[in-house]
Structures are given as structure tokens and as C-alpha cells.
Amino acid sequence: MKTKDHVIDALRKTREKLWKETIASPGRFKMKAKTARVNKRSAKEALKHFEKLCKMVAQRPSPFKGMSEGKVIEKLRQIREKLWEKKIGISL
């Protein structure tokens, strides 16, 4: 007769096996991202807001003024890391 520990060990082994399979094969994941239907009118609308945003940004001093492209990218990565840590923290 199997003891409680044996059952737990067997369940853990199954979990490990499933986890390894999940990590190894991206095909297991269902791709569910929806694609927005973009018609000419909405694309025109988006372009209008894009141009307006570019104009708005041009009117103020850039927070990245004087920084090289590499430094800007590093700074953006730091912002991403901080944001991510915050998100993970919130979800725990």
C-alpha cells in the first residue's frame, strides 16, 4: 500500500515532467492575441494623433537631452526593470 509520501512524490514527479514539457514546447500555448480590425478611416485617425503627439513632444525639452542612444536604451531598460519589479510586487 502506498503511503501519503509516496503519493506526494509521484504527484511532484508528474508536475516536474509537465513543467519541463511546458517549458520546452511553445506549441503547447494557445495564441490568443486578438488583432484589431483597422480600416482606412481608423488608420487616418491614428496617423493624425501620431503627428499631433510628435508635435507636442517637440515643444518641450527631452528628458534624454545630451544622452547617447545607448545610454537612453539603458535608461529605458532600467525603467522597464523597475516597472516590472513593481508589477511582480503588486501581484504577489
Positions that interact with another protein (CB under 8 A) = 19, 22-23, 26, 29, 31-36, 38-40, 42-43, 45-47, 49-50, 52-54, 56-58, 60, 62-64, 67, 69-70, 72-73, 76-77, 79-81, 83-84, 87-88
Kind and range of the H or E run holding 74: helix 69-91
Nearest partner of 72 among 60, 62, 83, 64, judged by Cα: 64
Task: Measure the CA–CA gap between 44 and 52, rounded to whole angstroms.
Answer: 12
Smallest distance, another protein to C-beta of residue 74, A = 9
Amino acid of residue 2: K
6 vs 48 by CB, closer to another protein: 48
Smallest distance, another protein to C-beta of residue 5, A = 27
